[in-house]
Structure 1
Amino acid sequence: MKTKELLIGACLCILSACNMPGKGTGLDVYEALDYCNDQVERTLTELKGTDGTIDYTMMPRNIMDSLNVWHCRKATKDEWCSGFWPGVLWYDYEYTGKAAIKEQAEKFTEPLKFLSQIPAYDHDLGFLIFCSYGNGYRLTNNPEYKQVILDTADSLATLFRPRVGTILSWPRNIEMFGGHNTIMDNMINLEMLFWAAKNGGNPYLADIAVSHADKTMKYQFRPDYTSYHVAVYDTLTGDFIKGVTHQGYADNTMWARGQAWAIYGYTVVYRETLDPRYLDFVQKVTDVYLQRLPEDYVPYWDFDDPGIPNAPRDASAACITASALLELSTYLPANKGSEYKDAAIKMLASLSSDQYQCGKSKPAFLLHSTGHLPGNSEIDAAIIYADYYYIEALIRLKNLIENKAVI
C-alpha cells in the first residue's frame, strides 16, 4: 500500500511492545493485512466453479484441520455464520480500495437481504446483517443497505420479551433448558439495535438494547465476573432460574468465546450510552480474562478445561477480544488504555505468527479455532468468524496507528 512506507517507522515504534516471548519479532499490521488480502483473493479464485462462476449464496464456513479447502454453507435462515464472509470482503475492500473486492462484497452481501423480509427465525441477526450490510453501508452509504439494517432490527426486536427484559435466544428451540434462554453471544446483536435507533429506526430499539445489557449484567456473571454461556429465565415471571453452558466445558467454567463476546458487547454498550457503569463493568470482565491467559495470549477453548495444556485453543476468542480491546483502550485513562492496547497487540502478534496463520496450507486466515467442542463440531479448525474479527482487529490497529477513529 502507498501509505505503508510512510508509516512503517511509526508502526514499528508503536508495536515495539508486542514482541512475543522468546521470538524477538514484532507485528507489522500492514504485512498482516496484505496477507489477509492474499488469502481473500485466493479464496475467491477457489470458490469459482468449473465454469468460472461463483455461487454467491454459498458462504465459506470452516476448514477442518485435515482439509485445505473451504466447507461452504448456503445462506439460509438457520445458518448463523453467513454474514462473516461478506464482512471480511468489506474490510478487505476498506484496506485495499480494490474495486474488484468491492464488487465481490456486494455480490456476497445481496443473498442475505431476505433476512430483513421474514420473521426472526433466530437471534443471530446482528451477526448476519450488521457484519455484512452494516459494513457495506459504512463504506458506501448505499440507502438500500440502510433499509435492510432497519428492517432487520425491527425483526430482531420481536424476540425481545419485556417481562424478562432480554432478547430470546434459540426461539426455535426454547425447550433446550426449559425457560427463556439468553446466550452471551446475543450481546453482539445490540450494536445493530443501537445503530438503527440512531439512524431512522424506532428509538425503542435502544431501550431494548439497554434492557438486555442490564439484565445480562445482573444475572449472567458470577461474583468473579466470569460469565455463564446461557442464562435461563422464567418465561412467565422473568425471574432468573439458573446459569448453564451449552458450548463450554461445564456450567461453572469460563468458556473463552463467551467471555470474549461479553468484552466486545459491553464495549459497544458503553460506546453507545457513555454510561460509566458499563465502562467499569467491562474492565472487570476483561481483567479476569487477561489474568488467566497462557503465555501467547491465545486462550484455551475453556479456561477451566482440566486437560490444559493439552486442550484445544480458540483463536476466534483471541480475535474477538483483541478487536474489542483496541476500541476499549480508547475510552480509558492512559495507563489502563495502554495495558489493554498492548494486550491486544500481543494477541495479534501471536495470531499473525506461523503457529496460527494458515499460510499456504489453507485459504483461510487462521488455524486453531474451536467452535463447539461438547458437540464435537469445528474443533481445531479454521473458522470464518475468527477471520472476520482478525481482519477487523487489524483494521482497528491500523486506524490507531494512523490516528483515525477505531470504528
Structure 2
Amino acid sequence: MFSWIVALTLLVSASVVLGLPENLYSPLISSKLAATSATYLGKYPQYTDHASPAQWIWFNPDGWTSGFLPATLYELHTRQSLCPEQSDGIDWLSRARNWSAGLVPLETANHVGHDVGFLSFPFVEELKLNPTNAGAIQAVNAFANDLARRFNPVVGCTRSWDSPDPDFEVIIDNMMNLDVLFVSSQLTGNTTLHDIAVSHADKTRINHFRPDNSTYHVVHYNSVTGAVTSRVTAQGYANNSTWTRGQSWAIYGYANIYHRTGFQRYLDTARGAANLYLSRLPASQFLRWDFDAPAPAPADTSSATIASNGLLLLSQLERSLGMKERLQNNSLCLPSRDLHDFADYGTQILQGTANLAWSPTWQSLLSNGTVNKPAGNYLTGIVYGDYYWIKAGNELIRQGYVACPQLKKP
C-alpha cells in the first residue's frame, strides 16, 4: 500500500518540478537592500518614481507601509539563518532593529488607522528571535490596542477608514492586520483581542465574498444598526470587479487566520479565494491590477507576490492536515489535487513575475507594481511587493521545496 508518509516525503522533494525562478535568490537582493538600508535618515520607501532607472520615493514614518522595509531586513536575516554557509556578511539583524526603532514613536501617536497591523510586522519578527524582548512586546500590544479601539460590536468589525458615522467602512485588506490581535492576545492572555479578530473574519467572509468566492474591496455598514449599506471599490476597476490585490489579501489573510485558530471555515474560505484567483490566472501569469479591467491594463506584481505567499501557506497547512484529509474532507467540493498544487501555482506566479518584472537596474527588485490605478499610481516598484518576493523565497527553503542556493556574483 502506498504510504501517506511516502507521499509527503515525495512532496518535500518537489523542487525539481516546481520550476523556481533563480531571481528569488539573486545576489542583487542583498546588494540593493544593503544600499537602501545603509543609513537611516528618518524616512521609509513606499514606491518608486518613473525615472529610468526607477528610484525609491521616501515618506515620513507615519504611513501604512513603513513597517515593510524593516520587516524585509528581518527576512534577510532569516535567509542567513536558513543558509548560514552562504551568508553575505551583512548584519541584517542590526539593520532591521535600527529601522524598526524609527517606528517606536508611532506606538503612542499615528495616523495609520487600521493598518497598524502592518506596522507591527518587524516587531512580531523580533519576538520570534527573542520572545522576551520588552520593546517588541510593547510595540505589538500598543498596535493591537490601537486596532481593537476601532472595533464596533454592532457591526462586528474593526473600522478601516475614518468616514463619519453612521458610515462604517471595512476593506478586504484589513484581513492582514488582524494578526497583531492574535499575537498580542497570546502575549497578554487578553481573549477579547482574539474574539475581535474572529468576529471581523466572520463578518468579512459573509459580506465581502460573492458566490463565486471573488471579493468586494469595500463594504459600507451602518455603525448604529450594523446593516450593510453598499459594496463598492476604491482601488479596483468597478464595484462588481475583482481587484487582484484584494483577492490576494483574502487568500493570505484567511489562510493565516486558520493557522491561528484552526477553525475549518477559515481554511474553506482561503481555499475558495485561492481557487477563484487561480481560475482567473492567465497562462502568461500576467496579473492585471483588476481581473475584470479591460485590456490593455497594467499588472500588479505586489498582488502576485502576496498571493504566492498565501498559496505557499495554504500548501503548508494542507500538508499538516495530511493528504487523506485533503481528498476526503473537501467541504467546498474543490477539484482533487495533489498536496503540492497550491505551492506549484505559487511558484508559477513567481516565475511569471520574474519574467515580467525583475529589474536589475531599479532600486526596487520588481517593476510593474500598481499602488492605486484609479489614482494614477502604477508601473512602479513597491516596497511590499519586494518584501513578499523575498519572503516567498525563504518559505520555499523553509518548507523544503528548494535547498539553499549557491551564491553567484551579481
Residue of structure 2 in register with 1:386 after alignment: 385
User: 2: CA distance between counterparts of 1:15 and 1:388?
Assistant: 22
Aligned pair partner of 2:174 in 153, 170, 186: 186
- Judged with a 3 Å threshold, the aligned counterparts in structure 2 of structure 1 residues 305 and 371 are, in CA distance, closer, same or farther, namely same
Aligned pair partner of 2:69 in 85, 96, 99: 85
Residue 64 of structure 1 aligns with an amino acid whose one-letter code is D
Residue of structure 2 in register with 1:289 after alignment: 277
Instruction: Say what the alpha-carbon RMSD is for the aligned residues.
Output: 2.3
Aligned pair partner of 2:344 in 342, 345, 349: 342
Aligned pair partner of 2:58 in 72, 96, 100: 72
User: Is 1:235 equivalent to 2:223 in the alignment?
Assistant: yes
Does 338-347 or 98-107 show the bigger shift?
A: 98-107
Q: Give CA deviations for 1:313-337 in whole Å, capped at 9, x if unaligned.
A: 0100010010111111122254353
User: Is 1:123 equivalent to 2:114 in the alignment?
Assistant: yes
Q: Which runs of 5+ in 2 are unaligned?
A: 1-9, 82-88, 324-336, 404-410
* Number of residue equivalences: 369
- Judged with a 3 Å threshold, the aligned counterparts in structure 2 of structure 1 residues 376 and 399 are, in CA distance, closer, same or farther, namely same
Contact 1:183 1:229 in 2 (8 A): yes
User: 2: CA distance between counterparts of 1:373 and 1:150?
Assistant: 34
Aligned pair partner of 1:265 in 216, 232, 253: 253
Aligned pair partner of 1:134 in 112, 124, 128: 124
Does 158-167 or 389-398 show the bigger shift?
A: 389-398
Aligned pair partner of 2:214 in 226, 231, 236: 226
Q: Which runs of 5+ in 1 are unaligned?
A: 1-9, 20-25, 49-53
Q: Give CA deviations for 1:21-53 in whole Å, capped at 9, x if unaligned.
A: xxxxx4347734x432222113235xx5xxxxx
Residue of structure 2 in register with 1:276 after alignment: 264
Contact 2:11 2:340 in 1 (8 A): no
Residue 125 of structure 2 aligns with an amino acid whose one-letter code is N
- Judged with a 3 Å threshold, the aligned counterparts in structure 2 of structure 1 residues 357 and 188 are, in CA distance, closer, same or farther, namely same
Residue of structure 2 in register with 1:150 after alignment: 141
User: 1: CA distance between counterparts of 2:269 and 2:302?
Assistant: 23
User: Is 1:63 equivalent to 2:64 in the alignment?
Assistant: no
Q: Give CA deviations for 1:223-244 in whole Å, capped at 9, x if unaligned.
A: 1111000010011100111110
Q: CA deviation at 1:86?
A: 0.7
User: Equivalent residue of 1:401, what SS?
Assistant: coil
User: 2: CA distance between counterparts of 1:320 and 1:298?
Assistant: 14
User: Equivalent residue of 1:232, what SS?
Assistant: strand
Structure-2-length-normalised TM-score: 0.85
Identity %: 31
Residue 192 of structure 1 aligns with an amino acid whose one-letter code is V
Q: Give CA deviations for 1:366-386 in whole Å, capped at 9, x if unaligned.
A: 111101000112x01101010
User: Equivalent residue of 1:238, what SS?
Assistant: coil
Q: CA deviation at 1:365?
A: 1.1
Output aligned runs, 1:156-195, within 5 Å: 156-171=147-162, 173-174=163-164, 179-195=167-183
Aligned pair partner of 1:326 in 290, 309, 312: 312
Q: CA deviation at 1:287?
A: 0.4
Residue 137 of structure 1 aligns with an amino acid whose one-letter code is L
Residue 123 of structure 1 aligns with an amino acid whose one-letter code is H
Aligned pair partner of 2:290 in 302, 307, 327: 302
Residue of structure 2 in register with 1:5 after alignment: none
Greater RCO between the two (CA within 8 Å, min separation 6)? 2
Q: Give CA deviations for 1:155-212 in whole Å, capped at 9, x if unaligned.
A: 21000000100000112x447xx71100011000111111111122521100000000
Residue of structure 1 in register with 2:28 after alignment: 35
User: Equivalent residue of 1:375, what SS?
Assistant: coil
